[in-house]
Amino acid sequence: MWMTILSFLGGPVIKGLIDAYQAKLKAGNVDNRIAADLAAGEIAAQTAETQAQIQLRTAEIGHPWEPEKLAFYVCLIFFAKCVIWDKVLGLGTTDPLAGDVSTWAGMIMGFYFGKRTFENVARIIKR
């Protein structure tokens, strides 16, 4: 309504200003639409990336009966028995490991903790 009145009163100059203002509003709407489309695309990409990271974590966890975990459980039970049963509760004594068994137990524990540490450091460096 105002545009009709102003175009009637002001002639071609006011009509030109009104047309320019309407073109600016339309251009702003197009810019906003483009920005909204880009934001939606970014959100979709982030969602897909998050889902891929979750699938990777699930695949990395594996199963509790894998050989490396079984060997770790044996060492963990032995060390837990030595610490909790023998030292904390004072209810017994366990002979120390000797020879190859102690070497293997140390290697298994070192592998398990070192492997996870190396994977985490490599993941941080990769970022």
Letter string b/e over residues 106-119, b meaning 16 or more CB atoms within 10 A of that residue's CB: eebbeebeeeeeee
CB atoms within 10 A of CB 78: 15
Listed by start position, the domains of the chain span: 1-61, 62-127
Question: What pLDDT, on the 0 to 100 scale, is given for residue 3?
Answer: 57
Which residues neighbour 109 within 8 Å (Cβ) at sequence distance 6 or greater? 72, 75, 79
Question: Crossing angle for the helix pair 99-126 and 67-80, nearest 10 degrees?
Answer: 120
What's the length of the chain? 127
25-41: average pLDDT: 69
Task: Assess whether pLDDT exceeds 80 at residue 50.
Answer: yes
Q: Within the chain, how many helices (H) and strands (E) appear?
A: 4, 0
Rounded average pLDDT over 50-71 = 78
- What pLDDT sits at residue 28? 65
Dihedral sign computed on CA atoms, order 7, 13, 19, 22: negative
Tell me the HSE value of 47 on the side-chain side, using a 13 A CA sphere. 6
Q: What is the mean pLDDT of residues 9-15?
A: 59
